[in-house]
Amino acid sequence: MLASLLIIGVSGVLLVYWFRYTCLLLLRNSEAEATQPDVRFSFGAVRERLDTEPELDPLHVALQRDYQLITYLLENASGLEMDSIEERMLLWDYKLMRCWYRLARIMTPTSARHALSEMATVLSVLGGKLGKRAGIQAEA
């Protein structure tokens, strides 16, 4: 019984490690191909203001608005649905970082800033992929 619980626990930890490592690799590879942020989304401004802004909650609200808009487009726009498991993993990573932000914003603001940064990067990558599929060029 104890051995089974130990195996399940270790397997769960390894699964979480694999998921985080894969998401970070996806973000690193996709970020190199990313274009300049679209002015209609606020994740670019959030990434710029993240180091200087003392209050994190307005940045989180802006990212949540962008997330809702991107998920709405993914669910309702014709031809813009998610094609790959990588995009679904990035959405799961966004949700995981959102939970981490909620836990960390009180105790460790540095971790909360890192979570917001990763959330903005995920939205930037997904927004860029949506823009490529839709054939829309970012307005500068």
Check residues 9 and 80 and name the one with the higher pLDDT. Answer: 9
pLDDT digits (tens, 9 = 90+) for 108-122: 988 999 999 999 999
Instruction: Report residue 6's pLDDT band, with 50, 70 and 90 as the boundaries.
Output: very high
3 state DSSP class of 70 = helix
**What is the structure's pLDDT at 129?**
81
Q: What is the pLDDT of residues 49-99, one digit of tens each?
A: 988 888 899 999 999 999 999 888 888 876 666 677 888 899 999 999 999
Please calculate the CA angle 108-104-88 and round it to the nearest 5 degrees. 135
Span 35-42, average pLDDT: 70
Check residue 76 and give its pLDDT: 80
The label of the residue with tokens 């994190």 reads 56
Distance CA 13, CA 60 (A): 28
